[in-house]
């Protein structure tokens, strides 16, 4: 499916984009599965909860470091072919997890799955951006990223339920089946976008792929994404103990509160996806300002249950939901190519790692409010990284022509004297 027709641009999001969202849902369900199955995994692998917790870190580090490497290895392949290879690798990783009988085997399984997951994110977002007209890219990215939100809302509870009832192996078998289903749908319903004339020889050069990372606006966009997600996960990573030990909610109510948080992320993602194309930077700036306000309120009223819940749901609405606008800003500052999008996904994952890791270090000395304050600091730093983009109409979305798509946003960002 092409992005334009002789009569004008295609404004609808094609079914292929929704299929890519199914793939993201499978990846995210696998990513979160360990968090919901820690006791069962510790018993089954004859280890302790702390060691199982390291599996989460292993997955995240594998995503951050290995994802771009795999994307680079697949750079010369057409997007659909690359996705099918990634599905095969991811399927193998979850199959290895399902049959693992030792901790070492599970570590290997999480490394394989993490590398494949990150590469899938980058290539899927790149492909969805090429399948639609530029003016609906934000909406399309929002559709794909709904796989992430639904993975949080439904995938984690599903894996936890199946693992609790049928054993942790059954959870990974289920994810493997879900992966096979997503691969089958991709094989049938997803098509490669037309190859640009300049790309007929088999893809952009490696030098061109790496050259975009010298652009200051792209680097600022990547850093701001890390900070936005870090601000959110500094709180979300510790939301359960914050709600129970500080806010005073009962243990039995926390799953329902987190379900409400997940629902807020779905709603927020849909809204941001609609706004990201025409109001990219203003959406990012407004959302991050609101996130900072919610984090301030949460820090001040953590011990007041109704207010704490309201501010936490506010973080859900305007935190991780900035993903579509973040992706559009990165693509306009860099390109829609897979490597840029995969590296962006790695910077997002780095935010998860930083928010949760620094928050963990602060809690012993400063208590459970400390991660909330950390989140506020990261949000304020994110705002400072977003503000410079206001000087570039192309990044803001304010100079998009109504009926044409651009495949070279970088030309709008070069100083006049440097244009070729």
pLDDT at 133: 86
> Using 50, 70 and 90 to split pLDDT, how confident is the model at 407?
very low
> Using 50, 70 and 90 to split pLDDT, how confident is the model at 403?
very low
Report yes or no: 405 and 3 within 8 Å, Cβ to Cβ: yes
Superfamily assignment of 14-191 in CATH? MFS general substrate transporter like domains (1.20.1250.20)
pLDDT in tens, 309-318: 999 999 999 9
Which is it for the CA torsion 337, 81, 352, 238, positive or negative?
positive
> Using 50, 70 and 90 to split pLDDT, how confident is the model at 8?
very low
Q: Where are the alpha helices (DSSP H) in 45-136?
A: 49-61, 67-73, 79-99, 103-131
pLDDT at 90: 97
* Domain layout of the chain by residue ranges: 14-191, 214-399
pLDDT at position 85 over 90:
yes
- 393: tokens are 């109409």
pLDDT at position 417 over 50:
no
Average pLDDT, stretch 63-92?
94
% of the chain exceeding 90 in pLDDT: 62
DSSP per position, 353-387: HHHHHHHHHHHHHH-TTHHHHHHHHHHHHHHHHHG
pLDDT at 402: 39
> Using 50, 70 and 90 to split pLDDT, how confident is the model at 282?
very high
Superfamily assignment of 214-399 in CATH? MFS general substrate transporter like domains (1.20.1250.20)
pLDDT at 1: 40
**What is the phi/psi pair of residue 4, to 5°?**
-135, 160
The reply to whether domains 14-191 and 214-399 share a CATH topology is yes
Q: What is the dihedral of CA 325, 328, 333, 338, to 10 degrees?
A: 130
pLDDT in tens, 178-236: 999 999 999 999 999 876 544 444 445 677 778 899 999 999 999 999 999 999 999 98
Average pLDDT, stretch 10-15?
77
- Average pLDDT of the chain, as a whole number: 86
pLDDT in tens, 170-194: 999 999 999 999 999 999 999 998 7
pLDDT in tens, 130-141: 899 888 899 999
- The C-alpha atoms of residue 287 and residue 165 are separated, in whole angstroms, by 39
pLDDT in tens, 350-395: 998 899 889 988 999 999 999 999 999 999 999 999 999 998 776 6
Average pLDDT, stretch 109-120?
96
* Most confident of the ranges 50-54, 99-103, 413-417: 99-103
Instruction: Enter the pTM of the model.
Output: 0.83
């Amino acid at each position: 499916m092409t992005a334009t027709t002789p009569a004008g641009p295609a404004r609808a999001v094609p079914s292929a984009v929704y299929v890519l969202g199914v793939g993201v849902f499978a990846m995210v369900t696998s990513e979160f599965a360990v968090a919901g199955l820690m006791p069962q995994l510790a018993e089954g692998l004859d280890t302790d909860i702390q060691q199982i917790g390291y599996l989460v870190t292993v997955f995240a580090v594998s995503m951050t470091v290995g994802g771009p490497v795999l994307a680079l290895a697949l750079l010369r392949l057409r997007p659909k072919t690359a996705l099918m290879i990634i599905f095969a690798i991811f399927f193998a990783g979850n199959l290895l997890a399902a049959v693992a009988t030792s901790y070492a085997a599970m570590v290997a399984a999480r490394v394989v799955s993490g590398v494949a997951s990150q590469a899938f994110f980058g290539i899927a977002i790149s492909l969805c951006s090429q399948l639609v007209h530029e003016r609906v890219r934000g909406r399309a990215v929002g559709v794909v990223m709904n796989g992430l939100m639904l993975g949080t809302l439904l995938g984690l509870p599903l894996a936890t339920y199946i693992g609790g009832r049928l054993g942790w192996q059954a959870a990974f078998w289920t994810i493997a089946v879900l992966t096979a289903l997503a691969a089958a749908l991709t094989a049938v319903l997803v098509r490669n976008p037309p190859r640009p004339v300049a790309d007929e020889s088999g893809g952009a050069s490696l030098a061109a792929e790496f050259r975009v990372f010298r652009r200051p606006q792209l680097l600022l966009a990547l850093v701001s994404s890390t900070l936005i997600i870090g601000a959110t996960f500094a709180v979300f990573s510790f939301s359960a103990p914050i709600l129970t030990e500080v806010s005073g909610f009962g243990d039995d109510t926390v799953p329902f509160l987190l379900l409400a948080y997940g629902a807020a992320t779905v709603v927020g993602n849909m809204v941001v996806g609609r706004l990201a194309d025409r109001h990219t930077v203003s959406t990012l700036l407004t959302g991050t300002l609101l996130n900072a306000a919610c984090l301030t309120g949460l820090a001040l009223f953590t011990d007041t249950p109704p207010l704490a819940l309201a501010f936490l749901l506010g973080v859900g609405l305007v935190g991780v939901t900035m993903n579509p606008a973040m992706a559009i800003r990165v693509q306009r500052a860099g390109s829609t190519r897979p490597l840029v999008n995969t590296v962006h996904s790695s910077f997002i994952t780095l935010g998860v790692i930083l928010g949760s890791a620094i928050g963990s270090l602060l809690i012993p000395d400063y208590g459970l409010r400390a991660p909330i304050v950390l989140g506020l600091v990261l949000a304020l730093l994110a705002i400072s990284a977003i503000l410079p983009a206001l000087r570039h109409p192309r990044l803001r979305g304010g100079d998009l022509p109504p009926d044409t798509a651009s495949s070279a946003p970088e030309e709008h960002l070069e100083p006049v004297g440097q244009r070729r």
